[in-house]
Amino acid sequence: MTMSFAKYITTPLTVSLLSCLLLSSCDVDWRSRKQIEEEKKEQMEHEQTLRELEATRRSVEASKALEKQKAAELAAKRAAEEAEEKELERQRVEEQKRLEEEARLAELQLKEDQYRERQRLQACIQFKGRKFASLTLRNGDTLENLKVTSADAIGVSFMHAHGIKRIPFTNLPDEIREACHYDPEAAKRREKLELKYKQAQYEAAHKLEMLERERKIKLKQLTTLSGDSPSSNTKPSTTPKASTQQGSLTVTVSGINQLGRDYKRGQKLLKIRAFANVPAYIEFNGERIVTLQPFVAREVDRMTSLTGQYKVVLRSVKDGAILDQESHNRKTGLSTSEL
């Protein structure tokens, strides 16, 4: 049996059939592996596509979330800006209202001040001519036989046996204060005006004095150079006469209390004006500050020390001789008569 089967399978036909079967099985197996690889590749591509799709979806969602966040921030910013604009507008309205109220209050206060000033002026006019046999002041002094000559915001001027004297309201009895409608603020304003007027008078007097002294120096210089007057019969000398060194120094101090030498304590501004007939220089507190040419006036400003002390000297360049000088306790070193 075995021998017959072996003999059967070794026939050419059998061998051919077996070969075909083997080849067919090998082809089927190769095709299945290729299909599996293609399916696996397709699966991997599908998975990659899914991953890319998921990544894209997440990116889109993140972009939408970011845009939504930006939109929310923009809306919040706009809301904040609108709230700020509303607050600014509210503040502007309140400020405008406050300014209008202040302006109205200032207007009413001005009208009230003008009315009180008219009442005070009328009272002062009516008070003129009043007579007092005796008047006791707030400091205890007693004056007799007084007649009111005038009244202003500061006080009342009385005529008495020794002349006319203005007594401030701060030293007058209450009944006179009430009769004249005494106002401390009006008194302060009047004092400032009077101080300003006195300062202007003081500066004008100094300027006139300076110009007069300069004129006398020039006149004396011309007289010295020309000799005797033209009407004189004496023949003028051909030898020039030596001219005398002369100079003029004026110091105007700002912040004086009254006309004269009463100064406020503390630092003050000095306006220094100098003139000389020879080359000279100004010395301020021992320091040389400016040089003068002959017959040319110079002006310079300086601040005093904190205590208000100062010393200004006009010296000759030639020999250092003092031509004029002023200090905080000595107004001038030369008088007009000495020129």
Three state DSSP letters for 171-231 = HCCHHHHHHCCCCHHHHHHHHHHHHHHHHHHHHHHHHHHHHHHHHHHHHHHHHHHHCCCCC
pLDDT of 230 strictly over 60: no
What was the pLDDT predicted at 91?
92
What was the pLDDT predicted at 27?
57
CATH class of 191-225+244-334: mainly beta
- pLDDT band of residue 75 (cuts 50, 70, 90) is very high
Domain residue limits, the chain: 16-82, 128-182, 191-225+244-334
Whether the predicted model's global pTM rises above the 0.75 cut? no
pLDDT in tens, 236-246: 444 444 457 88
Question: pLDDT higher for 325 or 17?
Answer: 325
pLDDT of 281 strictly over 90: yes
Contact assessment for residue 130 and residue 176, using Cβ atoms and an 8 Å cutoff:
no
In angstroms, how far is the first alpha carbon of the chain from the final one?
178
Contact assessment for residue 270 and residue 251, using Cβ atoms and an 8 Å cutoff:
yes
Among residues 277, 302, 276, the alpha carbon closest in space to that of 289 is found at: 302
Q: CA–CA separation, 199 vs 215, rounded Å?
A: 24
- Judge whether 128-182 and 191-225+244-334 match in fold: no
Mode of pairing for the β-strands spanning 163-168 and 311-316: unpaired
Name which of 84-88, 155-159, 210-214, 277-281 the model is least confident about.
Answer: 210-214
pLDDT in tens, 100-124: 898 888 888 778 877 877 888 888 8
| Helical packing angle, 184-226 and 12-127, nearest 10° | 80
pLDDT (average), residues 270-285: 89
What was the pLDDT predicted at 330?
64
DSSP 3-state assignment of 314?
strand
pLDDT of 232 strictly over 70: no
Question: Of 35-44, 47-56, 112-121, which one has max mean pLDDT?
Answer: 47-56
What was the pLDDT predicted at 204?
79
What CATH number does the domain located at 128-182 have?
A: 2.30.30
